[in-house]
């Protein structure tokens, strides 16, 4: 991966937060993160912050991000243009709100009924309205025979079926193995395994289309990304960014991921964290002389106990 590459760090807020005021508060924090990591000095990469909130919060986020490099996306779109389709949101509506990216084919939408066919129609709607699409693909589970690779190929082929070669510049692929989404046991793909998948996806694109599409397509990774695994995923997985679920609900955790990716080495980050922790403890103790005094008292009484328990020589 080249130094100073621009990485897309997309936060999928899913069905959170609960209220518009919470969304507004978070948005202002993401706005600051976007400014900080757009061109952080000495950074390995510049980061493009993208937040995909639930539909009702899109305008609020657009207002909060005004004048900042942070982008607002959407989590889904209708396959229809408009008209009598209760509950649907058309791509033209999202375009008019200034949405830059729309996630399509997320496994949680596929589980709710989106087929490859419907995903390909939605993708067409997004492209038609000059918006970028984040197309999610990924296997439900893995098998030793490698059948899951064929499943991904079929998914990719069917989802991209309606696009012409010129449309591809507006598509980003998010490789999200379904078995790795929403896990609490640190089961995300390793950077090494991810790199194999990225090579495989590019090979499929080369077979299906051409060399230029295969090499220029941006590929993100999604599925239980955390501050612990983000560095390995980005720098060993050779991806162009992340699609983050739960770790992106909290601006602090999201920022931690950005910092770990952008700063020169992981060791550096750990050192910085240790220094900050040490300094905070010193500061807190200074602020709290009572705590210091009680610590001294404990040490004195321990010394007394030690002395009295020594055998007495006559």
Q: How far is the CB of 275 from ligand PGA (least distance, A)?
A: 29
- In the complex with ligand PGA, which residue's Cβ is closer, 120 or 224? 224
CA dihedral 276, 50, 228, 13 (to 10 degrees): 110
User: 117 CB contacts (<8 Å, ≥6 apart)?
Assistant: 158
Which residues have a catalytic role annotated? Answer: 106, 176
- In the complex with ligand PGA, which residue's Cβ is closer, 246 or 259? 246
CA 184 to centroid of chain Cα atoms: 16
- In the complex with ligand PGA, which residue's Cβ is closer, 79 or 108? 108
Other CB atoms closer than 10 Å to residue 40's CB: what's the count? 16
Q: How far apart are the first and last CA of the chain?
A: 76
Binding interface with ligand PGA (CB under 6 A): 12, 176, 181-182, 222-225, 243-247
Q: How far is the CB of 14 from ligand PGA (least distance, A)?
A: 7
Other CB atoms closer than 10 Å to residue 170's CB: what's the count? 16
User: Are 101 and 40 a contacting pair, CB within 8 Å?
Assistant: no
Residue 146, exposed/middle/buried by CB under 10 A (0-12, 13-18, 19+)?
exposed
User: Are 54 and 97 a contacting pair, CB within 8 Å?
Assistant: no
Q: How far is the CB of 154 from ligand PGA (least distance, A)?
A: 21
User: 262 CB contacts (<8 Å, ≥6 apart)?
Assistant: 37, 40, 43, 44, 45, 46, 47
Q: How far is the CB of 215 from ligand PGA (least distance, A)?
A: 25
Q: How far is the CB of 183 from ligand PGA (least distance, A)?
A: 6
- In the complex with ligand PGA, which residue's Cβ is closer, 133 or 247? 247
- Of all residues in this chain, which one has the CB nearest to ligand PGA in the complex? 245
Q: How far is the CB of 124 from ligand PGA (least distance, A)?
A: 22
- In the complex with ligand PGA, which residue's Cβ is closer, 213 or 222? 222
- In the complex with ligand PGA, which residue's Cβ is closer, 132 or 213? 132
């Amino acid at each position: 991966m080249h130094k100073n590459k621009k990485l897309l760090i997309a936060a999928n807020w899913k069905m959170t937060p609960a209220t518009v005021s919470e969304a507004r508060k978070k948005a202002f924090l993401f706005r600051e993160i976007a400014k900080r990591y757009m061109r952080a000095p000495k950074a390995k990469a510049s980061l493009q912050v993208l937040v995909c909130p639930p539909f009702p919060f899109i305008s609020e986020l657009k207002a909060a991000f005004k004048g900042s490099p942070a982008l607002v996306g959407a989590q889904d779109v209708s396959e229809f243009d408009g008209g009598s389709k209760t509950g649907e949101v058309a791509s033209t509506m999202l375009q008019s709100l200034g949405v830059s990216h729309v996630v399509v084919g997320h496994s949680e939408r596929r589980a709710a009924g989106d087929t490859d066919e419907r995903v390909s129609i939605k993708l067409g709607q997004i492209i038609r309205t000059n918006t970028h699409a984040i197309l999610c693909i990924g296997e439900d589970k893995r098998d030793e025979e490698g059948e899951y690779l064929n499943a991904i190929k079929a998914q990719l082929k069917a989802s991209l079926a309606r696009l012409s070669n010129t449309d591809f510049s507006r598509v980003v692929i998010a490789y999200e193995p379904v078995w790795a989404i929403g896990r609490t046991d640190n089961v995300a793909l390793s950077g090494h395994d991810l790199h194999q998948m990225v090579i495989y996806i590019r090979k499929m694109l080369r077979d299906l289309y051409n060399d230029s599409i295969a090499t220029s397509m941006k590929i993100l990774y999604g599925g239980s990304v955390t501050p612990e695994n983000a560095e390995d995923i980005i720098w060993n997985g050779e991806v162009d960014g992340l699609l983050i679920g739960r770790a992106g609900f909290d601006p602090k955790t999201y920022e931690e991921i950005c910092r770990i990716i952008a700063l020169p080495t992981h060791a550096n980050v750990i050192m910085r964290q240790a220094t900050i922790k040490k300094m905070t403890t010193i500061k807190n103790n200074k602020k709290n002389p009572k705590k210091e005094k009680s610590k001294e008292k404990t040490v004195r009484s321990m010394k007394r106990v030690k002395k009295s328990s020594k055998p007495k020589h006559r």
